[in-house]
Structure 1
Amino acid sequence: MSAGATAVWGRAEQQDFRSRVRGSLLGLALGDALGAPLEGLGPEQIRAEYGAEGLTGPAPAYGRRGAVTAATQLTLFTVDGLIRAQVRRDTGAWHPPTDLHRAYRRWSATQHDWGPDERRGEDGWLAREEWLYARRSPARACLIGLGDEAMGTLESPKNPGDDSPDAAVRSAPFGLLVGWEPQLVLQLAVECAVQTHGHPTAYLSAGAHAVIVHALARGESLDAAVQRALALLAARPGHLPVTDALQHALGAVRQGMPTAARVEELVGDGAADGMLSAAVYCALVGEDIRHGLCLAVNHGGDSSATGALTGALLGALHGETALPPAWVAGLEGRATLLELADDYAMEMTQGPALHGPGVSSPSWLARYPRG
């Protein structure tokens, strides 16, 4: 199916898709929040603070349990941008990377404004959520890359030397475009990643993560999803670090019981490829989502990033009902996450009934303006 093609959805298919969308977004936020208290701590410090097994459940960060970081904030604006790209398609001016750039610029405003500007109706509902105006350790590359109107492209990327994982972390929603062909999902994720992270390792990790989520959301196994990503990466210049990292993750599964030391080895120097490798490994070996997420965060690297990447995979694979209920109940912004997830699922399955030819829902267009 080509980009933006209309699928015929049965009721059971719609329910399954909504569960996977909710699962992926909530899972990402749970992993992000689980890792937040561990930022800046080495393995020995983690064990000294939380015991021999490390962190085994949500702990306070930013003044509360379940607090998310800029990774979740940016992911929400990715979803918002994708919905608005679909709505905007009716105008004939359809260029999703531009719509995503506008969405990321709306996130950028939350990092320096005191709160939402109610006069700016074109911003839609998400930009009016006051809790998103908290500054939660945003990556320098994101602040710089989105600090002006100029949009990074593959030909002229922003921060071409930055190979950190922040673009990959926000890329899961591209994978939830289940009506698109996987190579187009990869391309869109890459084009949006270079708006802040221009190093091939960073933007190809983002593309690979999106393709893996895409296969999972379509009902494939995690191993098959990784193989699909490897096949698509092979044609991309600069793919070897990401390809090697994914193959390393698959090989690590066969090396005995999972350990924090093995995750630490996969994470490596903290570049996007290592973080993606660790996330795939944790998702493959985790006994359940709780175990997979705890395994993903108890290391000395960017715990929020690995937690978020892992959570997005496990949530897309298993759906929302597999997530730990007590963790979900205490998650910051849960109501917003669920509302946005359901809007995304509705747009992708029933968009023509909301803003198709001869049909226009004023309330939907107020939520997701075409401007």
Structure 2
Amino acid sequence: MSIDPGAVAAPPLKSRIHGCLLGGALGDSLGYAVEFDPIESIRHRFGPEGLTDFGALGPGSHFSDDTQMTLYTVDGLVEALEWANEGVGADANACLWLAYLRWLDTQGESVPPQAPSQPPRWIDGNEVLRHRRAPGNACISGLATGEMGTVYRPVNPESKGCGTVMRSAPFGLIPHIASDAVYKLSADAASLTHGHPSARQSAGSFSLLIHRLVAGDSLADAAAAVLDGVRGLKDVAAELPERLEAAVRCAGTGVLSPEELVWQLGGGWVAEEAFAVGLYAVLATAPGPDSTLSPEGHFRAAIALAVNHSGDSDSTGSIAGNILGAFYGEECLPQEWLDALEAPDVIRGMADLLVGVTTA
């Protein structure tokens, strides 16, 4: 199947922001229902094609820590941009650290006494974000140190879990800033919890992919540009270009079985694997030039491919949903899936805050 879906009408920024955040939450929610389940169990429960629709779950689907942390990333960026719009310089990474510390509190963890105290913001009043949904160990332990990790003074120096990538789409949604700035914002924020080079490089590269899509690139062009950029990174973690090259190569051959997907790309538990699986799912299911597959059909197919495997299904589903939501805008999101989504008003509320500060 072709990895270039051809020309689509360019959605406005508001639709891309809403689409990216809602699309990520949809992929996260479908994947969270089968996270930690081997593919054999998924097939036994849902049939040979696995879990492909919210209708198979019944009422009460939930998103995971992936969506929670993505929304707290939005909040940190919104605060930094609020200051900037008032003409006051602010340390964006400090704003993100403070936002993540407030997320830490929602998980029932004690915020370290040496960490700065801060007043609550709108996001903190939403009870749905206070549920503990299998948060990543490195995200918890890195924030619990009370130290603001940096590239040069990392916390969890050996950790490269996918907790950096799954929360990093919002950096790519900020318009009118240079690609280098997008990458640095994302990579610096990744270093708040994870110290391994692949963790921050994967996060920064994923944010750049979103940034290029919002700027109007096709899926294929954005993927190629990001892969070229990864190859040129100073001191690049070798596993990152290897996994992304495999994702593009596998997408060019068509849809893999869940077993082959994990064999070729990994299960998504670490940063470069999660990025690779999400990207592969989007590219492998993209319609060719003569295809009649709609944006919604593409979204459904990509999310199904991204979550049905013996791996970190919520993170890989979230990444695929972020990508297609940013590319197509809200047009690609199935209405019945949105109807089943937990707390869409909270997600839309955070999306509107980001729209407000980026179009002020």
Q: TM-score, normalised by structure 1?
A: 0.85
Tell me, yes or no, if structure 1 residue 101 matches structure 2 residue 113.
Answer: no
- In the aligned structure 1, how far is the partner of 2:237 from the partner of 2:198? 7
Report the counterpart of residue 274 of structure 1 in structure 2.
273
For structure 1, which runs of at least 5 residues remain unmatched after alignment? 1-11, 115-119, 351-371
RMSD across aligned C-alpha pairs, in angstroms? 2.1
State the match for 1:77 in structure 2: 72
Change beyond 3 A, Cα 1:271–1:59: farther
Q: Which moved more, 1:311-320 or 1:217-226?
A: 217-226
Map 1:264-303 to 2 at 5 A.
264-268=262-266, 270-287=269-286, 288-303=298-313
State how many pairs are aligned.
332
Q: Does residue 179 in structure 1 map to residue 176 in structure 2?
A: yes
Matched, 1:320 2:315: no
Task: Tell me the residue number matched to 1:363.
Answer: none
**1:153-302 counterparts in 2 under 5 A?**
153-233=150-230, 234-268=232-266, 270-287=269-286, 288-302=298-312
Q: 1:121 deviation in Å?
A: 8.4
**Counterparts of residues 30-45 of structure 1 (less than 5 Å):** 30-45=26-41
Percent identity between matched residues is 34
User: What amino acid sits opposite 1:77 in the alignment?
Assistant: Y
SS at 1:188 equivalent: helix
Letter in structure 1 aligned against 2:184: Q
- Give deviations 1:236-259, integer Å, cap 9, x for gaps: 313321112111111112223443
Deviations 1:326-346 (CA, angstroms, capped at 9, x unpaired): 111111120011111112112
Match of 2:344 in 1: 334
Q: CA deviation at 1:231?
A: 3.0
Q: For the Cα contact (< 8 Å) 1:266–1:277, is it kept in 2?
A: no
Match among 75, 79, 83 for residue 88 of structure 1: 83
Q: Distance in 2 between matches of 1:23 and 1:259?
A: 28
The CA distance in 2 between the partners of 1:281 and 1:321, in whole Å, is 21
Q: Residue 111 of structure 1 aligns with which residue?
A: 107
Name the CA distance, whole Å, in 1 between partners of 2:311 and 2:243: 16
Q: Quick check: 30-39 or 236-245, which moved more?
A: 236-245
Specify the code of the residue in structure 1 equivalent to 2:330: E
Distance 1:121 1:144, change over 3 A: closer
The residue that corresponds to 2:317 in the other structure is: 307
Which residue of structure 2 aligns with residue 7 of structure 1?
none
- 1:147-158 aligned at under 5 Å gives the runs 147-158=144-155
Per the alignment, in what secondary structure is the counterpart of residue 273 of structure 2? helix
> Residue 280 of structure 1: CA displacement?
0.7
Mapped to 1, the partners of 2:101 and 2:264 lie a distance apart of 33
* Cα separation, 1, equivalents of 2:160 and 2:80: 27
Please identify runs of 4+ aligned residues in structure 1 that moved more than 6 A.
none
> Would you say the 8 A contact 1:176–1:214 is kept in 2?
yes
1:111, 1:266 → 2: CA distance?
34
Counterpart residue identity of residue 65, structure 2: A
Q: Residues of 2 paired with 1:266 and 1:158: CA distance?
A: 30
Q: Give yes or no for contact 1:163–1:199 (8 Å, CA) kept in 2.
A: yes
Residue 17 (structure 1) aligns with: 13
Amino acid aligned to 2:238:
L
Give me the whole-angstrom Cα distance separating, in 1, the residues matched to 2:51 and 2:283: 20
Q: For the residues of structure 2 that align with 1:154 and 1:36, how far apart are their CA atoms?
A: 30
Q: 2:141 aligns with which of 120, 141, 144?
A: 144
Normalising by structure 2, report the TM-score: 0.87
CA distance in 2, matches of 1:165, 1:59: 28
